[in-house]
């Protein structure tokens, strides 16, 4: 999938709905801070899809933490409110399946915990 800001790079007028299919997925959302353009694109994406198309968001952060990862708190809060107003939240806790058989990383010591 193209980056979130893809439709605006060449001013082609391609809307977000043409880039994101009927059921959209934002994977690892807010893993890193969003710049002003990405924050605006997030808002536009949420508003355009709200109650019209399914959107799945996966994130290692809770929606309460997303706000601090954006550059425009007002715009981001509005988008988060729209997104979470009719959301079903599923919290999955446990070991990472991206590292099967490799153990968990212990960040405090920089060592791998092979439980």
Separation CA 108–CA 56 (nearest Å): 32
User: Helix 36-49 vs helix 73-84: angle between axes, to the nearest 10 degrees?
Assistant: 30
Q: Can you give the pLDDT at residue 18? A: 52
| More confident position, 10 or 100 | 100
Residues forming beta bridges with residue 106, ordered by sequence position:
111
The residue-averaged pLDDT of 83-92 equals: 88
Each residue's pLDDT tens digit, 62-81 = 888 999 999 999 999 999 99
CATH number at residue 83: 3.40.50.300
Q: What percent of the chain has pLDDT over 70?
A: 66
At residue 36, the pLDDT reads: 94
In a domain, 1, yes or no: no
- C-alpha 109, offset from chain centre: 29
User: According to the model, what pLDDT value does residue 22 have?
Assistant: 61
Establish if 83 belongs to a structural domain. yes
48 belongs to a structural domain: yes
Asked if residue 104 belongs to a domain, the reply is: yes
Task: Map residue 112 onto helix, strand or coil.
Answer: strand
Average pLDDT across the chain, whole number: 77
User: Can you give the residue range of the structural domain that contains 63?
Assistant: 6-113
| Cβ atoms of residues 76 and 40 within 8 Å | no
pLDDT at 49: 86
Confidence of residue 12 (pLDDT cuts 50, 70, 90): low
Is residue 23 in a domain? yes
pLDDT value of position 69: 95
The count of domains in the chain is: 1
Q: Is residue 40 part of a domain?
A: yes
Residue 80 maps to a domain:
yes
């Amino acid at each position: 999938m193209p980056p979130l800001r893809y439709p605006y790079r060449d001013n082609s007028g391609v809307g977000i709905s043409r880039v994101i299919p009927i059921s959209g997925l934002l994977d690892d959302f807010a893993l890193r801070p969003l710049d002003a353009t990405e924050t605006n694109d997030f808002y536009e994406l949420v508003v355009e899809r709200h109650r019209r198309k399914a959107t799945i968001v996966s994130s290692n952060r809770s929606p309460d933490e997303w706000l601090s990862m954006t550059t425009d708190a007002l715009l981001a809060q509005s988008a988060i409110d729209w997104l979470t107003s009719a959301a079903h939240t599923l919290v999955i806790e446990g070991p990472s399946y991206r590292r099967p058989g490799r153990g968990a990383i212990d960040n405090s010591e920089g060592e791998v915990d092979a439980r």
